[in-house]
Structures are given as C-alpha cells and as structure tokens.
A and B are shown apart, each in its own frame.
Chain A
Amino acid sequence: MTQLVNQPLQRGAHALVIGVGEYPWLDGGTQPRFAHFEGMGQLSSPPQSARAFAEWLLSPTGYNNTACPLASLDLLISDSSTDQFVPPGGTSTTIQRARFADISSAILNWFARGNDADDLLLFFYCGHGVARGLNMTLLPEDYGSQQTPPQASLTLAIDFDGLYLGMDSCAARNQLFFVDACRVASGMLMRTINFSGTPVIPGMAQISSPPRNAPIYYSAVPGITAYGRPGKPSFFTGALLKAFRGAGAGDTSGAWALQTDTLVLGIHHQLRRAVANTAAVGQLSTANHVGPPLAFHQLAGLPECPVDVLCDPESDTANATFAVSGNGVQQTRVPQAAPWGLDLLLGDYQFAANITAPSAKSGQSTSRVAPPFRSVKIPVA
C-alpha cells in the first residue's frame, strides 16, 4: 500500500489507482512464460496512465471538489523501468507494486475508508484485461505465476464484475470506476466454469440502501483492444483527462462541473479524435450504470470543448484552408483530408473556409462552442 494522501476527513474522496505494465510471466517477462499467455506481453503505457491520473488528483489545477476533497490516494504501479512516483510539486516516492495480494489488500482498505454515505470512491485501473461477453477480468502483475494447472492462474486475477457487485455493500454511495484495459475474449476464461477470477468483495443478495450512484467508464467496448502508447498514457486515459478539462462537463448544478452523465459523451468525442489516424482507430469507449447526474469536479474556468471543422459538402474539406477567430483565438489550417480538430473554450467563434482549387469556393459560419462537442460544417459555394 502506498497512500500518497491520507487525511482524516468527515467527508472526502478516496482514490485507488492501479497501473500494471510489467508482467513477469507474460511474453517478454523476466520469469518462465505462462503457457497460456494468449498473446499478452509487457506494457509501458499503464504505469504512465496511472501516474497521469494520480497527478490529476494531486495537482492544484486538478481534482477540485470543495464538498468532497481528496482524503486518500492509494497508488499501485508495476513498472519495469522505475518504482518511483513524483507527485506534482513533491519529492520522489517509492510506489507499491500491483500484485494480486497488494491489489486485494488495497481494495479492502479502500472499501473500509469509504465509511460515510457521502464519501466519493474513485477506482482507476490500467493494464491487461480479458473478457467474455458481459464479464471482465483484470490481470495483476503476477498473473501467470501459478502455471499448473493453468486455470489456477485466474485465482490471481480480479473478477471486476464480481467486485462491482460487492462494492454495493460499501458505505460510500458515490463510486466512480475507470477501467482502461482490453476486453478481448480469453480462451482461458472460456474454458473455466463459473470462475472469472476473485471478486475480492463478493456481492450479497440484498441491494444496499440508500442506492449508490456508481458508473463504470470503460476504455473499450467488449471484444476489442484498448490501445496504449509506448511510454505515454494510453489513448483512453489521455482522452479521459482531456474530457476532464471540459468536454465531460455539464452545468445542471449551476456551475460548470464534471458530471457523471455528460462525461460519457466527453470521453467518447475526445477518444474518437485521439485515435484518428492511429492503429487504435475504432476503439470505442463505453459506460455502464450511469445514474442521475453527479457533479464530482468543479471546473476552475470555462470548459474546453472539442470542435471538428469541415466543409459542407464534406468532400471539399480536403481542399480547404480553414480559419477560426474569436475570444482571443486566431488560427488557420492548410488543406488536409481530415476535419480540423480544435479545442476551444466555451463561446462564440467565426469559422471560415477558403478553397482555391480545383475551383474557387468559400464560406463562413458563426458557431457557438460548448460541451460535449461541436461539429462546425461550413457551407461552401
């Protein structure tokens, strides 16, 4: 356990952040390779994703919830390159590794810290994941270390759906889950009967009261790969943190804040843009159990919104020079095939398209930019 923050607060946010990149028993690892490694190997992105999420929680410009300030942060990272984490403005700290026993222990402690109904629990996981249909299993560092019989390796895996059910018995009724992992099918899982890993906290029959608000945000729809970027936070984590700057915001609470409902759309649009023209094109995020809007982070200023600029008709986009102005912004882009992707603060802007060849055309549009996303189609004639 590496608790970077541990403040006794009557009401607070408790975060458990896990990033697993080093898998000694999977392909390319330091230990004898697990026979059923199923194509899985070492990852450099999850440790960076976990660090980036933890930095957002700790940064003075990051997590901001006056009613529910950060009360605890437990960070577990398995990284082959370093076991250190440098918090914003702080000194380097040695971080606990993310082995099964470490994660189980951290989950139980995290559960116990959420002892007030108004506490907010945050769960972030980035690493290997496997799935079958509606179910998902998360793989700690030591997955594959129990090689005989092979299915015993699943005793060192986390049954995420089981854990989710079990978390209903936690006193804290506001819980956010971010799962940044592949959801591809696993032959190992398909062959086992009624066992998808250890839930750590099994769900009991009776649904707890008052009801919990506990959305899950997944980096990928079932059946597909969630992509990392070597040595950098994954596409999903990058998109998530960008959505935190505004695309995932709503104002139903009377102020611009990240809301559990609008965050779904914010992530969707940021991820779609992040993966364009990469190997990850097609990675679609998804969410489950999104309940009534819960504002969990107040924005310090205006929301930053993704905007795609293109021509109407779309076929003219590749030949157009685009310009945008307004609110102190003045930018242009030379012709390219893809729509012009911008991040602009909420407000009104003037957009222009100018085409010189094959035939001269131009057009203008005044548009309002707001969360979660705007597509500005400039009619050209």
Chain B
Amino acid sequence: MAYARLRIDKYLEGEPLTGGAIVDVRRLDDGGGPGARVKRATVPMGTSGAESRVNLDPGKYEFTAILPSGDVLSSIAEVDARPDGVPVVFEIGHASHEWMSWQHALGNVVAGETLDLMKAQGAKIQWSLVDDVGAQWFAASKLPDGRDAIATALAAHLALDPGSGPVPIKLSAPVQDLPSLNEPPFKVYQIPLSNHFDYENAKFVRSYALVGDSSKRQMLCVLPYPWRKVDGTEAAVEFMVGPDQPLDADESIVQFDVPWCVSTIARDDRVASVLSYFAAGNDDAAAFLAKEALYLLFDKMVNPLAASAGAYVLVDQWLRKRDTDPQVVQWLNWIDNLAKWFPWLPDGEVLRGWVALAGRDAKPSVETARSAFVEAERRGLPVYTAGVRRLADGLTRIANQDKADGRDDRAVVDALERIRRVAWSADPRFPFTTIRLWFDPK
C-alpha cells in the first residue's frame, strides 16, 4: 500500500487546524475520466508536523483542496510505495500578521501578499473605515424572573422605530473595553482566556461583545465563550471587524448603512472549518468534516457549544436524507442530551424541535416541537446564526399550522414575533449570531 501525506502549509501561531479543509483525490493514470474520484479526505493546515495520511494504490493522482473561502488548490503527484509516504503540500500564502492567521485560514481576510499588492496598486479601499470602531465585552445572566437579560434588552431595542436613527442599546451589565490589534482596514479583538469551564452549571453566564463606532452604529455578537477543545484545553475566541463588502467592492454596491461587519471565530482545530464551510453554504464539506469529528464532538460532551455546531450541520443533512441507521439514531439521542443537560443553551432545544417536526422514528410530534421552540426562545439568543434561522422557521411553521387549525397559542405567537425581529437583524454570513442594532431607513 502506498500513501500520500497531505498538508496545507500555514503557520497558525503554533497551532494546527486538524480539520482544515477537504480534499478530493482523483486517479489520473487510468484515464481520469468521469467517476475518477477515489476518495475524499481532510487535509490539515499547519506547519510540518500537521499532516493527514491517505492510503492509495500506487499511481498518479490529482489532489484538489476546496478551502472554506471557496478557493481551490490542486496538486498532482505520483504516489509510490516509498516507506515514508509521498508529501503533497498546498500553499495558501500568509496573513499580514500572525494574529490574523486564523481569520485568513478560515477565509475571512485576504492574504498579506494580496493586501500589499492592493496597497501598491492604489486600490480604492477605505483604509480608515474601522478606525473609530471600538469593542466591549460583557457577561449577562438571567433576570430575576428567569428571562434572558440580553434577549429582553434586544427585544426592546429592536422594537424601536428605525426612523429614530442609531440609538445605543440599553444594557444593565457592566462592560469591559477590549484592546485591538490593528491592520487597516481590519481590527482583531481577542477575548482573555477563561481557564474555567462550567457548562454543567445551570446558571452558566453567557458572554457577548458590543461593537460600535462614533456614529452610534452597533453590532451585538454572541461569543462562544469559553470554548473547550476535545483535548481539554481552551481555544482562543476572537472577532475581527472589517469592511462589510470585499475589499475590491465598487463604491456603488456598498450600502450606506452597513459599512463594517464582525466575524467571530473560536480557534478550535476540529470545529472552526466545519463552521466556515457551513456558513459559506458548502454543507457537503461541512457535513464531511463534522462526521469525521462526530464522536469527538458528542461522546463526552466536553463542550456543548462545539457539539451544537456539529449537530446543526448533521441535522441539516439528516433532514434531507433521514437515515435510520443505528449510528445516526445515536447522535439524535445526543441532541436530547444537549437540550436537557444545558438549560442555558437555546440551540439544543432548537435542534430538538426540528428533529421532532421531522419525526425521528417516522412519528413527527408537533407538540414536542412547539414546546422545544418556545423554550429555546425563552432561553435567549441562539449561539449560532443557523439557530436563529431554524428557530424562526420552526415557529413560523407552528404558527401557520395553528392558524389553519384555528388555535391561538400566545406563547408561540409572542416567541415568533421576538425571534423574527432578531432574524431580520442577523448577519447570515457568519456562523456565530451577530445582530445589527441599527438600521438607516433612507
């Protein structure tokens, strides 16, 4: 048996991105015609130690890596039976700074070389776009009556007349200013490590970031914090503020009310790429990586945030295929655990509701879904944008059914009205929930 050693050469501040990207392997020396793809595999990003091994029959192969950004890298190699395998190394360039390396790897920012070239060519870029942007970090627990403090403040804020212009959101929680790392027109904010995980605590306190500029335009970001990796260590959580549109976007397509955006990531070597593929609409790649990491995500439930990420991807796929094999049924059971064991996490209930609507054992339960969706909304903002969409869609389905049946369930109607406002203000391009708090109705 011969094998290839795959790697995307990328320095990520000493960390590997184990599930970095997917790679399709096609055999070329038997014609390379239709159906020549022999394997799909993962290729890690990192320095020399980070490699994946792909066993192959000796022959000539094309390795095509599809990155989370949609970029395509390819390499052709003769794979022979040499004992130490045949190295296949892809180059994606480097970020302007090491601290931007993860955002670059996940497709949120261009390579440093490209940025330098744009500067040299005098590209019309608003380099000072985020100069006046600042960020604060805060934690918020439940109100005395059990409602989620942030969801409650947000509901009041989003009900304001948009014609009143940008108005700062009223928060009761104390906030902490965050320092930024700057490379115009980008800023990166890193959240200090927590060194403490208490996911099992029913009174777990969730964290958020509030990003704003001098024109009082604000963005509320749900932070996936703290983030425990499967090896028990903590992954850094960071967010980058940059132009809302691609750097080379023509002025006329940049909308006046959305000049900048925020992309949040957790530097988790197993989950970060899954989320980037999922957010980019490459569900097939996301599902492939999530399945690779299935047991790591669910087995010991070391991180319900990471488990929810995998669950969104896999439930999306399951809703379109509805496998009934025992392995699938097993992770569907884990979704019940997510909902039950972590009462502060809305996403588990969102997922449970959708599984109920579809019917795990060919027995859909609208009533189970109804209670799951109402409970999810009560718990607060879903951590994931996919959760906001799924929750709004799920409650819409229930409300439509109620209307057709002549039933009046105020809990559903009220929950739907609140989550719809959140959905209307969410930025769907990024995996973690990010809410625009202003709208210019001009």
Give me the interface of A with B, judged by CB distance under 8 Å.
Answer: 132-135, 161-162, 165, 184-185, 187, 189-191, 193-194, 202-207, 209-213, 221-225, 227, 251-256, 261, 264-265, 268-269, 278-284, 286-293, 313-315, 337, 367-368, 370, 372-375
How far does the Cβ of A97 sit from chain B's closest Cβ, in whole Å?
A: 29
Residue of A with least CB distance to B158: A190
Chain B residues whose CB sits within 8 angstroms of the CB of A264 once the complex forms: 281-282
Are the CB atoms of B62 and A370 closer together than 8 Å? yes
Q: A222-B429, A225-B253, A292-B320 are in contact. Are A205 and B283 (CB under 8 A)?
A: no
Q: Can you give 26 contacting A-B residue pairs, CB < 8 Å?
A: A133-B427, A133-B428, A134-B388, A135-B424, A165-B393, A187-B163, A191-B441, A202-B400, A206-B359, A207-B319, A207-B359, A209-B359, A211-B321, A213-B320, A261-B284, A265-B72, A281-B246, A282-B246, A286-B280, A287-B281, A289-B316, A289-B320, A290-B282, A313-B113, A315-B117, A315-B120
Chain A residues whose CB sits within 8 angstroms of the CB of B1 once the complex forms: none
Q: How far is the CA of A289 from the CA of B386 in the complex (A)?
A: 11
Q: How far is the CA of A216 from the CA of B87 in the complex (A)?
A: 38
Are the CB atoms of B70 and A203 closer together than 8 Å? no
Residue of A with least CB distance to B362: A209
Shortest Cβ-Cβ A-B pairs, 7 listed: A282-B249, A187-B441, A291-B320, A205-B401, A287-B281, A132-B424, A133-B424
Are the CB atoms of B366 and A206 closer together than 8 Å? yes
Report if B254 contacts A (CB, 8 A). yes
Residue of A with least CB distance to B429: A221
Are the CB atoms of B357 and A205 closer together than 8 Å? yes
Are the CB atoms of A282 and B245 closer together than 8 Å? yes
Q: How far is the CA of A179 from the CA of B175 in the complex (A)?
A: 42
Please classify how large the interface on chain B is, using the bins under 10, 10 to 19, 20 to 34, 35 or more: 35 or more
Are the CB atoms of A281 and B417 closer together than 8 Å? no
Q: A185-B439, A213-B320, A292-B284 are in contact. Are A282 and B254 (CB under 8 A)?
A: yes
Report if B89 contacts A (CB, 8 A). no
Residues in B143-196 with C-beta less than 8 Å from chain A: 161-163
Are the CB atoms of A206 and B253 closer together than 8 Å? no
Residue of B with least CB distance to A315: B117
Chain A residues whose CB sits within 8 angstroms of the CB of B439 once the complex forms: 185, 187, 190
Report if B222 contacts A (CB, 8 A). no
Are the CB atoms of A203 and B66 closer together than 8 Å? no
- In this complex, the member of A185, A189, A314 whose beta carbon has the largest number of chain B beta carbons within 10 angstroms is A185
Q: How far is the CA of A132 from the CA of B74 in the complex (A)?
A: 38
Are the CB atoms of B322 and A211 closer together than 8 Å? yes
Are the CB atoms of B284 and A293 closer together than 8 Å? yes
Give me the interface of B with A, judged by CB distance under 8 Å.
Answer: 26, 28, 34-37, 62, 64, 66, 70-74, 76, 113-114, 117, 120-121, 161-163, 244-246, 248-250, 252-255, 257-258, 280-284, 316-317, 319-322, 354, 357-359, 362, 364, 366, 369, 385, 388-389, 392-393, 396-398, 400-401, 403-404, 416-417, 420, 422-429, 436, 439, 441-442
Residue of A with least CB distance to B365: A206
Are the CB atoms of B397 and A224 closer together than 8 Å? no
Q: A211-B321, A290-B281, A291-B321 are in contact. Are A187 and B35 (CB under 8 A)?
A: no
Q: How far is the CA of A205 from the CA of B425 in the complex (A)?
A: 24
How far does the Cβ of A349 sit from chain B's closest Cβ, in whole Å?
A: 13
Are the CB atoms of B72 and A375 closer together than 8 Å? yes
Chain B residues whose CB sits within 8 angstroms of the CB of A133 once the complex forms: 422-428, 436
Q: A211-B320, A291-B283 are in contact. Are A252 and B37 (CB under 8 A)?
A: yes
- In this complex, the member of B66, B76, B249, B427 whose beta carbon has the largest number of chain A beta carbons within 10 angstroms is B249
Are the CB atoms of B397 and A204 closer together than 8 Å? yes
Q: How far is the CA of A289 from the CA of B280 in the complex (A)?
A: 11
How far does the Cβ of B30 sit from chain A's closest Cβ, in whole Å?
A: 14
Residue of B with least CB distance to A288: B281
How far does the Cβ of A65 sit from chain B's closest Cβ, in whole Å?
A: 16
Are the CB atoms of B255 and A185 closer together than 8 Å? yes
Are the CB atoms of A134 and B389 closer together than 8 Å? yes
Are the CB atoms of B36 and A212 closer together than 8 Å? no
How far does the Cβ of B432 sit from chain A's closest Cβ, in whole Å?
A: 14
Chain B residues whose CB sits within 8 angstroms of the CB of A255 once the complex forms: 34-35
Chain A residues whose CB sits within 8 angstroms of the CB of B248 once the complex forms: 281-282
Chain A residues whose CB sits within 8 angstroms of the CB of B424 once the complex forms: 132-135, 189-190
Q: How far is the CA of A190 from the CA of B319 in the complex (A)?
A: 31
Q: How far is the CA of A293 from the CA of B283 in the complex (A)?
A: 10
How far does the Cβ of B366 sit from chain A's closest Cβ, in whole Å?
A: 5
Residue of A with least CB distance to B420: A194
Chain A residues whose CB sits within 8 angstroms of the CB of B319 once the complex forms: 207, 211
Are the CB atoms of A205 and B398 closer together than 8 Å? yes
How far does the Cβ of B156 sit from chain A's closest Cβ, in whole Å?
A: 15
Contact of A191 among B35, B162, B398 (CB under 8 A): B162
Chain A residues whose CB sits within 8 angstroms of the CB of B113 once the complex forms: 313-314
Q: How far is the CA of A278 from the CA of B319 in the complex (A)?
A: 40
